Amino acid sequence: MKYINALEYSVKELTEKDNDIRERMDEFKAHLYSDKFINSDIERDRKDWIAVADVLRWINYIKWGN
């Protein structure tokens, strides 16, 4: 019985972690669709670029939540 309870707890914990990661991924998608990256063709100032450091920071945030 303890084994089943442990598995149920693990499933619950992993589900919560998965939901958190999905929320952070949605935040990143919203960031990419923000005004910072829109109308790059019109203004010609390369607003469509994103720094590698920013991407790495987002990946770390998505993965670890900090």
Domain ranges of the chain: 2-64
Rg (CA), the chain: 18
pLDDT tens figures, 24-55: 999 999 998 888 777 655 556 666 678 889 99
DSSP 48: T
Would you state the pLDDT for residue 24? 96
pLDDT tens figures, 4-30: 999 999 999 999 999 999 999 999 999
Would you state the pLDDT for residue 61? 94
Would you state the pLDDT for residue 40? 54
**CA 65 – CA 27 distance, rounded (Å):** 12
Task: Enumerate residues 6+ apart whose C-beta is below 8 A from 7.
Answer: none
Would you state the pLDDT for residue 51? 84
Q: How far is CA 11 from CA 20, 34, 54, in A?
A: 14, 35, 32
